[in-house]
Amino acid sequence: MRPYILAENNWNYLKDARYELAVLPWGATEAHNYHLPYAADIFESDHIAAESARIAWEQGAKVIVMPTVPFGVNTGQADIFLDMNIRPSTQLAILRDIVEVLDRQGIYKLMILNSHGGNDFRPIIRELGLEFPKMFLCLSNWYNSVDKKKFFENPGDHADEMETSLMLYLKPELVLPKEKWGSGKEKKNRIKGFNEGWAWAERKWSMISEDTGVGNPELATVEKGEKYFKAVTRKMGDLMFEICKTSIADLYTETA
Ligand SMILES: [Zn+2]
């Protein structure tokens, strides 16, 4: 039993345990090109949360990782078979209930460890922050934690070289052989502002990608996946440690 993983814990241990930070990993269940499993985001969340928490725990941080929420916002993929969708308003309802438990039981710090681009927790955190003023609510999208360009040659944001490498490292038995990998070619919006990033509209996934991937996975390797995983979890572990050890009443400084 790892004391920082709630799913492995028991009442015998927990009745006397105290934690400073709860981590809620949040994934999605969706197609990932032809070759990665629907639960790719869930496996990634599980492993990144657990290893980051181990790193923080071993430095003395009292962190507890909750089970990963398996469904994300997939409104742009309504026509892709068995891509599951929960509404942002449902995410707000789920999070409100979880925050209420933590607030009542005196764990005043919560970090959402997000694995899926369609999940946008910032407005939800703003809303719940007003409702639960004692709580410190925060968010990290692990895929933004280190510079992908230092690890991977081809860009992308879904089932790409990064994600394929990571899954080759974490769950190789669930990655189809290379001849099945699609090219992850993405069609761009005809309207310039959307491609430049200063205007936004949701991508209609089945119209932008044939194989559901965005980003060419062909140069993915297990070695790249391992290096990236270690870099992400080291950084995320340090973040968890810092959140645990910093007083929220004294969060800001002139000198950082
Ligand atoms: Zn993914």
Alpha carbon distance 248, 252 (integer Å): 9
Question: Could you list the mean pLDDT of each consecutive 10-residue stretch along the chain, which spans 256 residues?
Answer: 97 96 98 98 98 98 98 96 97 98 98 97 98 98 97 96 98 98 96 95 94 97 98 98 96 89
CA of 39 from ligand 1 middle (Å) equals 8
Q: What is the pTM (predicted TM-score) of this model?
A: 0.96
Buried b (16+ CB within 10 A) or exposed e, 94-105: ebeebbeebbee
Rounded to the nearest angstrom, the distance between the alpha carbon of 49 and the centre of ligand 1 is: 15
Say how far apart CA 54 and CA 46 lie, in whole Å: 12
CA 90 / ligand 1 centre spacing (Å): 20
In the reported structure, the alpha carbon of residue 252 is separated from the centroid of ligand 1 by a whole-number distance in angstroms of 34
- Cα–ligand 1 centroid distance for 204 (angstroms): 16
Rounded CA separation 180/34 (Å): 7
